[in-house]
């Protein structure tokens, strides 16, 4: 076993939205254009069908279509990590097999729940899914959507499963990234990657030594997000802060309206897709569009 | 418009589990036996496909099979309220049409979510679904599973939609049922029913004047639950407390392990079904069964 995390789980993982019509049918052309943009922007990986990719709202068939389309567009130039979360364990197993058959490079799994789950249930869920394919798997720790909070001991326990090779963490409440990573790394295998989501804390996480940034803006503005990732991983705090400041108007919008709604509006404004978020989620009201337009204009890439 | 709530949304609404195999196929014979038991126990309505009915884990096809089977077994002797919650608005509309076509008497809708929803999104979701059928609808306010918290003003706004005739509330944090009901009734139409879930606070809610108790134990022990409901609605605090005390060992188990897991174990012990909860939810460990056996033995019906 190597002592360093998989390259798959390092750097900038760009999370595109999944353009789909109002019946939940994926618009593969628009998705492939987003993938090409991410390839062009030199992200490290594509985080397909993450929360930003609205995976929870898409059928198994449409998720398979999305994975096929993204892998075709990526054409081996960038690895594709596919989200496979679902409410039933057998559904997740089917999605894992679908992703593997389509040629995905890795899997991302959140403990989607309705009835609140126990630690043991989540552990058995991951163990069962991990046994389904050989693909490396990232634990998707996203309490704001799943409402399950991973204890550090559960993450350590999961990291002992051979194919579970990474965790995607939300920002720690006290924002002590270094302290949290030290504790997590102390209890996990040396090659277990500690990655962070939470766009407006990405710079902090990377400067503190996170293996990867799982980023919403990376899915739409990969050049700038990749530049931020590079400078932060090189510990260039000044350059990192400079780029982060350019994203600041977008962070404010994310905090106020949720990153998903804002990124749909931004993608619409950029002419990349006309897709709206899946109902019941509503598009942002038109009166907010000038502010989003302005936030986008602050970025070097459009 | 009448000044009193619909009889459909009064009294004891009994929430049975939905027996299903490990692939999520509903065992209609076992479900019909549970429905017959509820009819025999003289509950006021059946809350089919509620959280206890694991609706979130069943496909559209299986939910239709469950509604058909329950309505057949009820045979007009008790109204059936069908849960229609799902993550997409169009899915909920389809489920509403299915339930109406099957002959359900009412609908129960929780704002199932992944991306946290805004008040306006939830309002539009309900308005869209309410326009799909003529069936009376109960708003299912269950923050512990949906993670959406209804404001009192949103409930008031929803109560103005013609077919939205009831709300199923969780127990208020301060347990001031009277105060909460007074505020809700002050802002809603006179015929809007205020119902409560939360099994171990059912007696308090009913004594304080709740229109209905939406009860997990009602789905398995309807005689005792109906007796509690009757005495509480007649303001007989002594008799209500006497029955509630019989349920006390079960309340302790519900608090410790979640009512869903306990009620599956109890139904298994009673020989009513061999079904386990849907994975990732795990059956309770065998070492707990003697305690559940004892809690059941405390009840007058078995």
Cβ contacts of A117 on chain B, cutoff 8 Å: 280-281
Q: 3-state DSSP helix/strand/coil percent for chain A, to nearest 5?
A: 50, 10, 40
Work out the average pLDDT over A7-14: 96
Per-residue confidence (pLDDT) for residue A190, from 0 to 100: 87
Q: What is the ipTM of this complex?
A: 0.96
Residue of B88, B113, B279 with shortest CB distance to A88: B279
Report the percentage of chain A scoring pLDDT > 90: 96
B123 and B89 Cβ atoms separated by less than 8 Å = no
Per-residue confidence (pLDDT) for residue B298, from 0 to 100: 87
Q: Do B121 and A23 touch (CB under 8 A)?
A: no
pLDDT in tens, B238-290: 999 999 999 999 999 999 999 999 999 999 999 999 999 999 999 999 999 99
- Whether the link from the prior residue into A13 is cis, omega within 30° of 0, is no
Q: How many CB atoms lie within 10 A of CB A22?
A: 12
Q: What does the alpha-carbon distance between residue B172 and residue B259 come to, in Å, rounded to a whole number?
A: 18
Q: What does the alpha-carbon distance between residue A198 and residue A187 come to, in Å, rounded to a whole number?
A: 23
Q: Do A57 and B260 touch (CB under 8 A)?
A: no
What are the boundaries of each domain within chain B?
7-236
Cβ contacts of B23 on chain A, cutoff 8 Å: 90
Per-residue confidence (pLDDT) for residue B19, from 0 to 100: 98
Cβ contacts of B282 on chain A, cutoff 8 Å: 118, 120-121, 124
pLDDT in tens, A36-86: 999 999 999 999 999 999 999 999 999 999 999 999 999 999 999 999 999
Lowest-pLDDT range of A206-210, A279-283, B6-10, B153-157 = B6-10
Angle, CA B99 vertex, CA B94 and CA B101 arms, to 5°: 95
Tokens of A116: 């609140």
Q: Scanning every residue of chain A, which has its alpha carbon at the shortest distance from the alpha carbon of B111?
A: A280
Q: What does the alpha-carbon distance between residue A128 and residue A136 come to, in Å, rounded to a whole number?
A: 14
B210 and B181 Cβ atoms separated by less than 8 Å = yes
Residues paired with residue B194 on neighbouring β-strands, in sequence order = B167
Q: Which residue has the tokens 């994310």?
A: A254
Per-residue confidence (pLDDT) for residue B1, from 0 to 100: 46
Cβ contacts of B144 on chain A, cutoff 8 Å: 116
Tell me the residues of B at the A interface, defined by beta carbons under 8 Å apart: 22-24, 51, 54, 56-57, 87-90, 111-118, 120-122, 124-125, 128, 144-145, 147, 258, 260, 277-282
What is the full DSSP assignment across A151-191? -HHHHHHHHTSTTEEEEEEPPPTT--HHHHHHHHHHHS-TT
Q: Do B116 and A258 touch (CB under 8 A)?
A: yes
Q: How many CB atoms lie within 10 A of CB B287?
A: 7
In Å, how far is B255's CA from the nearest CA of chain A? Answer: 13
Per-residue confidence (pLDDT) for residue A301, from 0 to 100: 76
Per-residue confidence (pLDDT) for residue B302, from 0 to 100: 62
Helix H or strand E encompassing B140: strand B137-140
Cβ contacts of B111 on chain A, cutoff 8 Å: 280
Residue of B56, B120, B260 with shortest CB distance to A282: B120
pLDDT in tens, A16-48: 999 999 999 999 999 999 999 999 999 999 999
Residues paired with residue B83 on neighbouring β-strands, in sequence order = B108
Tell me the residues of A at the B interface, defined by beta carbons under 8 Å apart: 22-24, 51, 54, 56-57, 87-90, 111-118, 120-122, 124-125, 128, 144-145, 147, 258, 260, 277-282
Residue of A22, A117, A280 with shortest CB distance to B125: A280
In Å, how far is A116's CA from the nearest CA of chain B? Answer: 7
CATH of B7-236, picked from 3.20.20.70, 3.40.47.10, 2.30.29.30, 3.90.420.10, is: 3.20.20.70
pLDDT in tens, A104-125: 999 999 999 999 999 999 999 9
Give which of A88, A92, A93, A263 to mutate to test B binding, by max B Cβ within 10 Å. A88
Instruction: Kindly tell me the burial class for residue B279, based on how many C-beta atoms sit within 10 Å of its own C-beta (0-12, 13-18, 19 or more).
Output: buried
Q: What is the pLDDT along chain B (302 residues), one digit of tens a residue?
A: 457 888 999 999 999 999 999 999 999 999 999 999 999 999 999 999 999 999 999 999 999 999 999 999 999 999 999 999 999 999 999 999 999 999 999 999 999 999 999 999 999 999 999 999 999 999 999 999 999 999 999 999 999 999 999 999 999 999 999 999 999 999 998 899 999 999 999 999 999 999 999 999 999 999 999 999 999 999 999 999 999 999 999 999 999 999 999 999 999 999 999 999 999 999 999 999 999 999 999 898 76
Tokens of A266: 């931004």
Give which of B18, B94, B110, B114 to mutate to test A binding, by max A Cβ within 10 Å. B114
Per-residue confidence (pLDDT) for residue A2, from 0 to 100: 56
Nearest-Å Rg of the Cα atoms of chain A is 18
Q: Scanning every residue of chain B, which has its alpha carbon at the shortest distance from the alpha carbon of A120?
A: B282
Work out the average pLDDT over A293-297: 96
Instruction: Kindly tell me the burial class for residue B209, based on how many C-beta atoms sit within 10 Å of its own C-beta (0-12, 13-18, 19 or more).
Output: middle
Residue of A23, A51, A120 with shortest CB distance to B115: A51
Residues paired with residue B169 on neighbouring β-strands, in sequence order = B196
Nearest to A66 by CA among A105, A24, A38: A24
What is the pTM for the complete model shown?
0.96
A111: left (phi over 0), alpha (psi -120 to 50) or beta: beta
Cβ contacts of A56 on chain B, cutoff 8 Å: 87, 114-115
pLDDT in tens, B17-49: 999 999 999 999 999 999 999 999 999 999 999
Work out the average pLDDT over A206-235: 97
Per-residue confidence (pLDDT) for residue B301, from 0 to 100: 76
Cβ contacts of A88 on chain B, cutoff 8 Å: 24, 57, 278-280
Number of residues written out for chain A: 302
What is the full DSSP assignment across A65-129? HHHHHHHHHHTTSS-EEEE---SSHHHHHHHHHHHHHHT-SEEEE----SSPPPHHHHHHHHHHH
Q: What is the mean pLDDT of chain A?
A: 96
How many beta-carbon pairs under 8 angstroms link A with B? Answer: 91
In Å, how far is B260's CA from the nearest CA of chain A? Answer: 8
Angle between the N-to-C axes of helices A237-257 and A289-297, in degrees from 0 to 180, rounded to the nearest 10: 170
Nearest-Å Rg of the Cα atoms of chain B is 18
């Amino acid at each position: 076993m190597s002592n360093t995390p998989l390259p798959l789980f390092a750097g900038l993982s760009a999370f595109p939205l999944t353009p789909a019509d109002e019946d939940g049918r994926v618009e593969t052309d628009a998705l492939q254009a987003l993938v090409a943009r991410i390839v062009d922007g030199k992200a490290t990986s594509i985080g397909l069908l993450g929360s930003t990719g609205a995976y929870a709202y898409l059928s198994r068939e449409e998720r398979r279509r999305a994975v096929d389309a993204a892998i075709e567009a990526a054409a081996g130039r960038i690895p594709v990590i596919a989200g496979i979360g679902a409410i039933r364990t057998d559904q997740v197993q089917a999605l894992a097999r679908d992703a593997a058959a389509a040629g995905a490079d890795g899997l991302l799994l959140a403990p989607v729940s309705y009835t609140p789950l126990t630690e043991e249930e989540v552990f058995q869920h991951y163990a069962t899914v991990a046994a389904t394919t050989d693909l490396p798997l990232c634990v998707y720790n996203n309490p704001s959507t799943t409402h399950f909070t991973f204890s550090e001991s559960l993450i350590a326990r999961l990291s002992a499963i051979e194919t579970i090779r990474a965790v995607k963490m939300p920002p720690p409440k006290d924002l002590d990234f270094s302290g949290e990573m030290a504790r997590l790394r102390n209890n996990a295998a040396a090659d277990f990657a500690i990655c962070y989501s939470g766009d407006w804390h990405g710079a902090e996480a990377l400067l503190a030594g996170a293996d990867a940034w799982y980023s919403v803006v990376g899915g739409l503005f990969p050049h700038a997000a990749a530049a931020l990732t590079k400078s932060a991983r090189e510990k260039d705090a000044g350059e990192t802060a400079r780029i982060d400041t350019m994203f600041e108007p977008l962070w404010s919008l994310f905090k106020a309206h949720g990153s998903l709604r804002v990124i749909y509006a931004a993608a619409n404004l950029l002419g990349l897709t006309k897709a709206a978020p899946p109902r019941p989620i509503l598009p942002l009201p038109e009166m907010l569009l000038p502010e989003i337009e302005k936030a986008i204009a602050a970025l070097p890439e459009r």
